[in-house]
Structure 1
């Protein structure tokens, strides 16, 4: 049996790799493990992918087969399922989504009753049960019920509103909802604070999620913000757990800059526990430079928001995230939340009385280059002599002020190469031999 859980749940091409049969077994295995601590219901949500309905039915069948009830909350952002798992006093939560991945993919994420993603150890226990026909099989009235609760999404939105003190009257915001899970919620949320909202890509039809829109297509929200004359632009991904920002001058603000804006403000107020934030190796070197200059520091976790969260909990930090726009405000949420991040950033803008474009200058951005290589196989590259020799040469060329980071994606057949150096030309020259070696040895081609 292969390993199903990656860095962000189980993910694959829906109906080919992530089949209804597998989804049923995952739902059943997750319910058996979560049910060891509680016989309360499991909340189940999904994004707007057409395959989500198919997989939802299978997951729910698996849950009900153990005797646990399933609360169906319908289309909702991933952080909404995390919130409701705790707010509705459930045994846990299951989200059906492949986040920013293309339409053909889908995924299954599992949360505990506390709203946190499961540990690797608990996920391993679920995997052990996926192919075992074990556990209770109740009959008659003991079979689990399927209970629609679409109104529960209102509890999640209400909680978001309670997390900030905000007046957006006079502020025009453009939104790109990626035709995903935030489509039914984001515009009304920002309007409730008085903002003028121009919403785009908020008409999901089951097949247009993430299609040339959302946080992975930054030029879209940049163009839309300019065309409608908005002050700011926010782009979410398919499941609403990450955020990309366009500032008042049309520039981009990514997850690193959000960490800098929010973290340095908390640091100055002595409200940043351990005087640190948590980031990953993908974060720009300018982030740590900014915190060191301010009397703080940055801790680095393995890539993936689950590992960022683990490091935050271990170190007692309340703020962490990834350059991609996953930001965790641990005092307000148990996972990354794009809409919450936007609200907190707007609140900070209001408190400091400065445009986001000005606030973002608290951090110098070092030139970076990220190359994604789609490969036939992610296996063996770490032992490949040609690839490793190319990596060592590049690291020597970039040292001591630059760096090189190579890893295989946990959710896609992709090897990622990240380089950073103050000299952009030197960076390009150092990275190219590494890219060529991986393409040749792993049967790959660079994206874009």
Structure 2
């Protein structure tokens, strides 16, 4: 009988399980990106405003309160973004310029509040009415430069809102009138009121109040809402059109709104980022305003100290580095260096001598041995050893004909013909008494 079939183990007979599909990996979460400086500042500023509104004891909000709120929100944001870590050179520059532009945002230097009244202390800079415009201004109820500028700004704003040309741009022809004809002059500050009184007003170029109002209304930072972005622009801008616009603004400030360059106006630092000190002094001088370069430097140092708290050169170094770089880019954009036209000069062809074997050239010095003087020998002395005696009494020396041919028997410095020599013969056959063949 055949053995009964063995029952197979159920566990051993199991078939391999099908491959499991790969489990999907959860997407890796990138670390949350820190909001930009301006966004963080805006949030903190709104929180401060909300707290002020929630306080029932808070008085009405003033421009002074607004300035303090901006400064507080800026300091808190600056500490979060830049504080407590090592900064790169680029971040140091951005931090310095961000502080400048947030100070511009808080103080609003384009406001009429920065125009000093005419009766201010005599040694401070200010505007004065031009003597030929006093009568015209009084006819329109204007008696001071500040009143004239405020009226011109209101007229300019009205014109921008109402009068437009076919392209939608403000129609400047509607501004013709008293504000284009009313002129003022800028009197720079001096060391004393006596020096201010001695300034010759007739040599100062007058400007219309409409021009001053236009510069204030179109200040480069007037529509600025993101100062950190503006700082980035000043640090990295390379576009030619943008650089030209920056220089145009700075030049217009020097020509038409020089009060923005006083030591208590933060716009001074914005202009000094674009123009050098010598350029500012030159434009002032062209307008009949005498101002020394040291005065601009003093204003700059005083403004940095009072507005930004930069009291030593180390604090001012990042600002100075940005100014040097930006001024160089502005200069290259506005005054590019002319290209040098290289003209090819037709030079005469020189026939060079070839040194190839077919046309041998002049060998270099020392290529051949110097010529040696040669002495002629009698025909009977060829291939024989002789003793030559110099008639001058010099010591005789022995030589051979082959050595004579090689020039070994003559002095290299000898240039005269060889003197006559006496041949002395000795030995057998030299005389009749001594025959050659002796038996």
- Structure number with the higher strand fraction is 1
TM bracket (short chain): under 0.3
Task: Identify, as 1 or 2, the structure richer in helix.
Answer: 2
Structure with larger Rg: 2
